[in-house]
């Protein structure tokens, strides 16, 4: 077992804030999945909720920075907390960019194709959230390693799906403008998966340092 109390001190606030940030990442990806399900009744509210989720996560990130300024933490530990906080915030920020493109995109968006990408994004973010929660009480190394393996698998599968989508796009009937627009959408979802991978890697590196 690893005691991360040595990392974050006795105060629980950093655990609370990091877990809250990971939760916002989960919420944003779930809302994106709902939008792609083409539920027109829920779509407008889901877009609004994604924007609010990103703003909420930004406030959490800012609060972490403020608490670090007021709390005694060694520079090494501070860097880990700041790195994880920033990595987590980048997930809903990227999801918001995806939604922005979906709302202004004049091309016909192949929602079913993107749904597979987003399902893998949800898997990746779920793994990250699990890993972050392990920091609170000290964790079984195997749990972190298993979650990290699931995250790596989801990221690898997302790469394959993105490649297949781009291949179909280049060989399909879409005009040049549609190709550019849709490729950007596919790449943004892939970027969101990469953001989740980055956050998971920070947790995994913390585990390696303190194991």
Task: Provide the percentage of residues in the chain whose pLDDT is more than 90.
Answer: 53
Provide the whole-model pTM. Answer: 0.87
pLDDT, position 10: 52
Which CATH number describes the domain made up of 8-210? 1.20.58.220
pLDDT band at 192 (very low <50, low <70, confident <90, very high): very high
The Cα 84–Cα 82 span in angstroms is 6
The Cα 120–Cα 115 span in angstroms is 9
pLDDT band at 1 (very low <50, low <70, confident <90, very high): very low
CB 22 within 8 A of CB 30: no
Q: Which residue from 166, 179, 23, 196 is spatially nearest to 94, judged by alpha carbons?
A: 196
pLDDT band at 61 (very low <50, low <70, confident <90, very high): very high
Q: What is the pLDDT of residues 103-138, one digit of tens each?
A: 877 567 778 888 999 999 999 999 999 999 998 876
The Cα 103–Cα 128 span in angstroms is 28
pLDDT, position 94: 96
> Residues near 56 by Cβ (< 8 Å), separated by ≥ 6?
24
């Amino acid at each position: 077992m690893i005691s991360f109390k040595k990392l974050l001190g006795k105060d629980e606030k950093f655990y609370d804030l990091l877990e809250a940030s990971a939760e916002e990442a989960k919420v944003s990806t779930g809302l994106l999945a709902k939008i792609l399900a083409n539920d027109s009744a829920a779509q407008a509210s889901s877009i609004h909720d994604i924007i609010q989720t990103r703003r909420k996560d930004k406030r959490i990130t800012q609060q972490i920075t403020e608490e670090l300024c007021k709390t005694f933490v060694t520079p090494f530990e501070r860097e880990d907390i700041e790195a994880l906080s920033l990595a987590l915030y980048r997930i809903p920020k990227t999801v918001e960019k995806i939604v922005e493109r979906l709302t202004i995109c004049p091309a016909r968006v192949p929602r079913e194709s993107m749904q597979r990408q987003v399902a893998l994004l949800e898997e990746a973010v779920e793994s990250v959230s699990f890993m972050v929660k392990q920091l609170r009480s000290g964790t079984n190394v195997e749990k972190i390693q298993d979650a990290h393996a699931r995250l790596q698998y989801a990221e690898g599968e997302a790469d394959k799906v993105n490649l297949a989508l781009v291949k179909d796009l280049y060989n399909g009937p879409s005009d040049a403008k549609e190709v550019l627009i849709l490729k950007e959408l596919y790449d943004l979802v892939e970027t969101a998966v990469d953001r989740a991978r980055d956050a998971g890697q920070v947790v995994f590196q913390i585990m390696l340092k303190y194991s």
